[in-house]
């Protein structure tokens, strides 16, 4: 990486989320900038270049061969993440990869191995974790406002995607588990600040499409704590989680997909009183980009272990797939 005060990103994939959230976030970040945009269609890459003020565009391969690019943002369907993460690592580029990272634990392990071997960093893009509302929730937990934590309940679902959406394409890693349940799984790990011990999962399949369209997951944590997660395509929009403790309960109204101009609310239910805590708008995409860039520039490899976190998340998703396939409780220790 050339000496610079900013990380220069190459974009691999001109997706909707890239256009709506990530490219504006990179442009607004303190220590990042868009260096090149890559697409299967050079016309689309040029269109994005004009919109976001980037002077260089080309194919995915062009991005990886550009010596002026420090890191890549991979905005492709889940089923393509492994291929382009490994290619990026071999090209010496740090990788910010859209969630979910990939389609299996073995695939995630190959991605991490390639990045470690080539001395580049790899972050799975669960942007929501950077929203300040979750720090407030964790603070309330640590202050003892909820007493002993008992359960986490997380829901993320929305109307049915369009027929040509990668979410419905088996070969591209589609399905509600990879696409939406993964958020609530991550949120439970984040709030409990530990990894689950056992996993139970039931997926509802659309056999015409070959993907799961609803997932219900039960995670068992230490000391009897539990997490129930539900996601669905073709549902009333939900993007929330709640916590149940021995003293009170708490609900986050908009947990995962939060527009950067939206205030969020945390509802704390104690006794006969429900208090609403307002959290001011924030761009969690921008916060994620800046945090990733600080890790790269400061070489803080021991500060935040993005790669181990990615593997821990992939392990829970793998256990969920195994549980659904084999019809039994899966111990996380089976996958270590």
Q: What are the chain's domains?
A: 7-127+286-300 (3.40.50.720), 130-282+316-335 (3.30.360.10)
Lowest mean pLDDT: which of 115-119, 202-206, 293-297?
293-297
Torsion of CA 43, 45, 46, 47, to 10 degrees: 90
Please write the tens of the pLDDT for every residue from 41-99. 989 999 999 999 998 999 999 999 999 999 999 999 999 999 999 999 999 999 999 99
- % of the chain at pLDDT higher than 70: 98
Residue-level pLDDT at 301: 57
For residue 110, with 0-12 CB atoms within 10 Å meaning exposed, 13-18 middle and 19 or more buried, which class applies? middle
User: What CA–CA distance (Å, rounded) separates 192 from 149?
Assistant: 8
Banded pLDDT at 303 (limits 50, 70, 90): confident
End-to-end CA distance of the chain: 34
Q: What is the pLDDT of residue 3?
A: 46
Distance CA 249, CA 247 (A): 7
Task: With both helix axes pointing from N to C terminus, report the angle between 105-117 and 81-90 in degrees, rounded to the nearest 10.
Answer: 10
Would you say residue 34 has pLDDT above 90? yes
């Amino acid at each position: 990486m050339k000496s610079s005060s900013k990380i220069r990103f190459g974009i691999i994939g001109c997706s909707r989320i890239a256009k709506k959230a990530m490219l504006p976030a990179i442009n607004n970040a303190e220590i990042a900038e868009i260096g090149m945009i890559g697409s299967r269609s050079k016309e689309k890459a040029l269109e994005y270049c004009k919109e976001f003020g980037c002077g260089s565009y080309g194919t995915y391969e062009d991005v990886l061969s550009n010596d002026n690019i420090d890191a890549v943002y991979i905005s492709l369907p889940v089923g393509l993440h492994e291929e382009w993460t490994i290619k990026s690592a071999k090209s010496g580029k740090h990788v910010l990869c859209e969630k979910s990272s990939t389609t299996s634990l073995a695939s995630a392990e190959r991605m991490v191995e390639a990045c470690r071997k080539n001395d580049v960093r790899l972050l799975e893009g669960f942007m929501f974790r950077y929203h300040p509302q979750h720090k407030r929730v964790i603070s309330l937990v640590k202050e003892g406002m909820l007493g002993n934590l008992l359960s986490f309940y997380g829901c993320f679902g929305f109307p049915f995607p369009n027929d040509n959406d990668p979410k419905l394409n088996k070969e591209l890693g589609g399905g509600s588990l990879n696409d939406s349940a993964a958020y609530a799984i991550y949120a439970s790990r984040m709030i409990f600040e530990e990894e689950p011990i056992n996993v139970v999962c039931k997926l509802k399949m659309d056999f015409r499409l070959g993907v799961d369209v609803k997932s219900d997951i039960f995670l068992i944590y230490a000391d009897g704590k539990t997490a129930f997660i539900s996601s669905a395509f073709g549902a009333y929009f939900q993007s929330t989680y709640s916590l149940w403790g021995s003293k009170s309960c708490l609900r986050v109204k908009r947990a995962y997909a939060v527009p950067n101009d939206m205030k969020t609310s945390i509802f704390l239910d104690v006794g006969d009183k429900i208090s609403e805590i307002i959290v001011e708008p924030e761009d969690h995409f921008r916060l994620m980009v800046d945090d990733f860039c600080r890790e790269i520039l400061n070489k803080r490899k021991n500060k935040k272990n993005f790669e181990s976190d990615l593997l821990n998340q992939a392990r829970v998703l793998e256990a969920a797939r195994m549980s659904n396939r084999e019809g039994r409780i899966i111990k996380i220790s089976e996958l270590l």
